[in-house]
Structure 1
Amino acid sequence: MSAEVETIVCSECGKNLSPTFRFCVRCGAAAPPRRAAPVAPPPIAPIRPTPFLAVTGTIRPLDAATPPPHDDRDAKPQPPPPPTKPTPSGTSRSSTKVLAVVAGIAGIAVGLTAIFGHFPFAGDVAPQKLTVTVGPDRWVDVDPRATFGVDRDFVVLGDGPLRMRTSSGKPVLSNGAPVSLGNVGADRIELKSIGGPQTVTLMSR
């Protein structure tokens, strides 16, 4: 394509002038300014189409026999499981045995304390003993103050039945079991056996 030749017309005489001349060759008038060539808009690049993602796999239609998905809201709440009883472990069994042994020892200590007035195996107070031989024919006078001191309790242990008396109390009959006379103070005690001679032990508490 050939470019279009611009036509310049003189404003004074109306003659067509060549675009190479800047003044009129007939009348000498200055040629009008050239028209600016139209500015073509920049070319617009074509928009590339966006490629679609290819679908992989096979779409399986929903079968009529396929059950609907499970809904937890339709399920009934299940009752909680029954509590299980704890099985005794080895530690609990050992603790039970230890408690039983301790209870037995405490019972023995209470029994000895009831007889002797104190626990006889305690290390703080050592029991003191006084042994005499008595018979059935006469009373044997015993002064516990010489051995145990004043205001001391003591227990009488005999091999068999015997009688005991003090000046301030009634006679006491023993069938061979230990007898606690308590604190006799300044009293003297008299002993007499029943049946035959025997050895009697007085033990302080």
Structure 2
Amino acid sequence: MKNIKNLAIGLILLIAISCGGNKDSEEMVLEPQKAVLVYPAENEECEGGIVVSDTEAVLEFKWQKAENADSYLLKVESLNTGVVKEFTANTNFKEVNLLRGVPYSWSVVSLKKGSQITATSSLWEFYMAAEGVENYIPFPAKLLNPTNEEIIVTSSVTIEWSGNDVDNDIKEYELYLDTNSNPTTKHATTNLQTVENISLITGTTYYWKVVTKDLAGNSSNSQVYSFTLE
């Protein structure tokens, strides 16, 4: 009986050690880190790429390899249409067909097999070069504050954005602000990137956008954001 009891105890210990060993031997999946963008450069005209027609070129996007990442998702957005295209890559570059003379933004998402966690790079904008273009339309302004659909517990608000232009010839910004989903009321014209302490009515949802104009008479429209004053 004693031998049987010892045998049972030994079997239990063996199972426990075996289970514990399997658990300890499981590999830890390290989280992927953000990729650092390299090319095309931020806020510049991109003259690289292979021209395939009067309207199209093939451009190779490049970024630094991200730590712990084994694949990437390249996101390229046409700032004219808002259409985002996604491309998978197993290395740190990817060729993409683009329209010439069009502003784009791009970013890279780092991926790791076996991990649900991803990491997204910075967002860069550039213009794809085109023949005969002497002056480029400004990049659409990036709306910063208030954030989209933000709820604000005050009767005044400061609105902020950022703007860039390949030609560095931005003349002014026009801030449109009202209660229409596509605002048509010009609230301010300024060469700054902020309008401070705007008094508004509480309990109201407002919409805003920014039109960027350059010295050559070109203009671009930002997205439309909304915020609500409580």
Q: TM-score, structure 2 length as denominator? A: 0.22
- Structure having the larger proportion of residues in strand: 2
Structure number with greater Rg is 1
TM-score with structure 1 setting the length = 0.24
Structure with bigger helix share is 1
